[in-house]
Chain A
Amino acid sequence: MSGAATSALPSAAAPLASGASRGVSRRVLPGFHLTLGYAVLYLSLIVLIPLSALVFKTFTMSWDQFWVAVSSPRVMASYRLTFGASLIAALVNLVFGLLVAWVLVRYKFPGKRIVDALVDLPFALPTAVAGISLTALLAGNGWVGQFLEPLGIKLAFTPAGIVIALIFIGLPFVVRTVQPVLEDTEKELEEAATSLGATRLQTFTKVILPSIMPALLTGFAMAFARAIGEYGSVIFIAGNMPMISEITPLIIIGKLEQYDFAGATAVALVMLVISFVLLLVINGLQGWKRRRSEASA
């Protein structure tokens, strides 16, 4: 098994690299080959091999077929919508996520614990439930929609509704990445800034904001990545009109329903590559965040 093969090499090299105590722990604790082997096997069976099917399926297409499938006007319109709506939603979450995290960390108010617990609702509430409930709220006869409709504002069944659904889905990411970092920031730095004559706003933009910036960007990237792939909450509220309010995941579903497996796979591969890139960006940001917190510790 590949787990055993990869572990054979570093067992000789690692004690030199990572210190004697690590070397001892490997000899003393049992179960290394069993657990690593099982983890790699399970990861391969559930994730890696099925994902590779996507790549192999695309190889059965010619370059021209692939290009036509991923760049037809309807698909291009769906990319613009998916990325545009995800970007706007992630930006809204960046601002309001920071605000919610700030309020939860710095201020005392009644019901704070309930508010704190409620932040994770979008993680726990099934996306289909969020979708139909936001639609019911924003439709012309809904609690919110009935006040907006007379003003000429239509949110349900428009791209604006998609943004609303994506704000809901991405809400916890920025709050939960910024909150712990904000809790760890040292008041001394802010005191120093103030005693040197900085206004509160200057202290915030020049002292606090730079120290939470890696966490803020990590949360932003996570919310953005989640929004791009989101399907369940969006399809109910979107209206799903081709060229106008049809997101890319729905394009994949549409092609599948027409038994266009190759076309669906091609678009899915584009989405997968984008997901990979975003995953690497998030990893990079987290590394930056860790180094920042280690440097300040």
Chain B
Amino acid sequence: MSAASRTVGRVQAGTTESAWVRRTLIGIALAFMFLFLVLPLAAVAAEALRKGFGAYLEALKEPDAWAAIRLTLLTAAIAVPLNLVFGVAAAWAIAKFEFRGKAILTTLVDLPFAVSPVVAGLIYVLVFGAQGWFGPWLQAHDIKIIFAVPGIVLATVFVTFPFIARELIPLMQAQGTDEEQAAIVLGATGWQTFWRVTLPNIKWGLLYGVILCNARAMGEFGAVSVVSGHIRGQTNTMPLHVEVLYNEYQSVAAFAVASLLAILALVTLVIKSVIEWRHEREMKAIAELPPERPTPTA
């Protein structure tokens, strides 16, 4: 008897670690997180407020800073909806239907994530720049894309391209087509089915993709830097304005604008976490349903 109970005790001990190992591992992990994540965030706040709150507010009232904020908002306001429509369309086609080349299409959707942001900017210079494919034609018609706002928007659309699609594709694949088929059979039109059946099912995944897409759209640096031309007050987004100020040794002003982007990042993380916790609760609620009802996610 005692031998058996000893074995049970040893087996239980074998699936976890002793207290000091646990504490050491937690300690190392937290120290790593503190050094690499918390300290940089704190440094942004400290540097922005180094000359006091007044100087911080003054830096944010600069007309060039405002122009950068407006351009960043405008860019995200165009790029995110474009990628939202694409994401929904691509996910509908890929998740609800079988067709040849589906695996290739799914891979290509992810392609912009693999491309360096600098290369992403460069390809638009090659297409629309003065020496590019459409350069002479655009010049003749007095249309500026590179070193102007359209180029910034295009580069941003490229780097944020996969966010919403890659969030929706696995979600809609997991949900299958049964509910939509039922709606259609009961006489709903395609649009009604999408708005009343599909959209309520994917709304959290959609929101999740949108906020991540938005964070990257507002924060993109490399790709936008190549196509922007860095004209103060005109083609500088917030991250580019941070660079300009930093290189001019206006540290407080640079970190003041950077602090707005850091706040955006924190808000993004909060919304993201809330969505995840909601999802977790819903999954738990489904798991606790009476066994005669099959889980709807299957």
A117-B269 in contact (CB<8A) = yes
A132 (CB) vs chain B CBs: closest residue: B246
A25-B115 in contact (CB<8A) = no
Q: Is B57 an interface residue (CB 8 A)?
A: no
Q: Is B167 an interface residue (CB 8 A)?
A: no
A43-B99 in contact (CB<8A) = no
Tell me, in angstroms, the Cα distance from A69 to B41 when the chains sit together. 39
Q: Is A121 an interface residue (CB 8 A)?
A: yes
Q: Is B209 an interface residue (CB 8 A)?
A: no
Q: A252 is contacted by which of B122, B184, B216 (Cβ under 8 Å)?
A: B122
B7 CB to closest chain A CB, in angstroms?
6
Interface of A is mostly: helix
A271-B127 in contact (CB<8A) = no
Contact with A along B72-96 (1 / 0, CB 8 A): 0000000000000110111011101
A137-B89 in contact (CB<8A) = no
B222-A25 in contact (CB<8A) = no
Q: Is B14 an interface residue (CB 8 A)?
A: yes
Contact with B along A106-130 (1 / 0, CB 8 A): 1101000101111111111111111
B97-A26 in contact (CB<8A) = yes
Chain A, 217-274, CB within 8 A of any chain B CB: 225, 228-232, 236, 249-250, 252-253, 256, 261, 264-265, 268, 271-272
Knowing A50-B123, A129-B239, A252-B122 are in contact, say whether A134-B40 is a contact too (CB < 8 A): yes
Residues of A within 8 A of B100 (CB): 6-7, 9-10
Q: B99 is contacted by which of A6, A47, A104, A228 (Cβ under 8 Å)?
A: A6
Q: Is B285 an interface residue (CB 8 A)?
A: no
Tell me, in angstroms, the Cα distance from A194 to B269 when the chains sit together. 39
B97-A123 in contact (CB<8A) = no
Tell me, in angstroms, the Cα distance from A54 to B88 when the chains sit together. 29
A71-79, A146-154, A185-193 - interface stretch:
A185-193
The range of chain A's interface size is 35 or more
B28-A118 in contact (CB<8A) = no
The range of chain B's interface size is 35 or more
Tell me, in angstroms, the Cα distance from A31 to B172 when the chains sit together. 15
Tell me, in angstroms, the Cα distance from A187 to B101 when the chains sit together. 39
B15-A54 in contact (CB<8A) = no
Chain B, 265-279, CB within 8 A of any chain A CB: 265-266, 268-270, 272-273
Tell me, in angstroms, the Cα distance from A109 to B107 when the chains sit together. 39
Residues of A within 8 A of B126 (CB): 50, 53-54, 57, 261, 265
Which residues from chain B sit less than 8 Å from chain A, CB to CB?
A: 7, 10-11, 13-17, 22, 25-26, 28-30, 32-33, 35-41, 43-44, 46-47, 85-86, 88-90, 92-94, 96-101, 105, 107-112, 114-119, 122-127, 129, 131-133, 154, 157-158, 161, 177, 180-181, 184-185, 189-190, 193-194, 212, 215-216, 218-222, 225-226, 238-240, 242-243, 246, 251, 254-255, 258, 261-262, 264-266, 268-270, 272-273
